[in-house]
């Protein structure tokens, strides 16, 4: 069986910008945990950002908080660490938090900090995909389960 990189927040760890987790309650997650196939990771925390932290969105290829701070360096560092972890553990699949500026697979916020979403990928999701790791969002659990079958 293959190991799977999963966003820590989807496992309930309180690492999101607002200090919460967003646990994905899916029976397959519990099975993977029992099989010790899950590698939990939060690229934003790994990149050096605190929890809680100001919300950030991608704007003009930079990651900017709602207070105007440029946190692109931390987001890129976390993405690189996620890729290294995948390479070390021969991970070919990732389950990441949709709409996050790090982990968004299909959508991200538009950079205006007004709650509008657009088609796009977060920095970590994009880097993993470019390196041959198949990224799924929590909304794509059936497709991930099928890909691993």
Q: Residues 111, 105: contact at Cβ < 8 Å?
A: no
CA angle 101, 82, 76 (to 5 degrees): 50
**Interval 22-62: pLDDT, tens:** 999 999 999 999 999 999 999 999 999 999 999 999 999 99
User: Token pair 């290294």 is at which residue?
Assistant: 84
pTM value?
0.96
Query: Please, which residues have CB within 8 angstroms of residue 42's CB and are 6 or more apart in sequence?
Result: 7, 8, 9, 13, 15, 78
pLDDT values of the chain reduced to their tens digit, one per residue, 149 residues: 789 999 999 999 999 999 999 999 999 999 999 999 999 999 999 999 999 999 999 999 999 999 999 999 999 999 999 999 999 999 999 999 999 999 999 999 999 999 999 999 999 999 999 999 999 999 999 999 999 98
Residues, the chain: 149
Asked whether the CA dihedral 92, 97, 100, 104 is positive or negative, the reply is positive
Alpha-carbon torsion, ordered 140, 134, 111, 12, to 10 deg: 60
What distance in Å separates the CA atoms of residue 21 and residue 12, rounded to the nearest whole number? 4
């Amino acid at each position: 069986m293959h190991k799977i990189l999963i966003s820590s927040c989807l496992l309930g760890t309180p690492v999101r910008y607002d200090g919460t987790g967003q646990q994905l309650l899916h029976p397959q997650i519990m099975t993977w945990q029992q099989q010790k196939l899950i590698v939990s990771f939060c690229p934003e925390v790994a990149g050096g950002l605190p929890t809680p932290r100001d919300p950030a969105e991608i704007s003009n290829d930079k990651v900017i908080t709602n207070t105007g701070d440029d946190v692109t360096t931390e987001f890129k560092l976390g993405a690189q660490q996620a890729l290294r972890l995948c390479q070390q553990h021969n991970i070919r699949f990732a389950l990441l938090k949709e709409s996050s500026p790090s982990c968004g697979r299909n959508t991200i916020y538009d950079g205006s900090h007004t709650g509008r979403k657009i088609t796009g990928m977060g920095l970590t999701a994009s880097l993993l995909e470019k390196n041959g790791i198949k990224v799924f969002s929590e909304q794509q659990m059936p497709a991930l389960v099928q890909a691993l079958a």
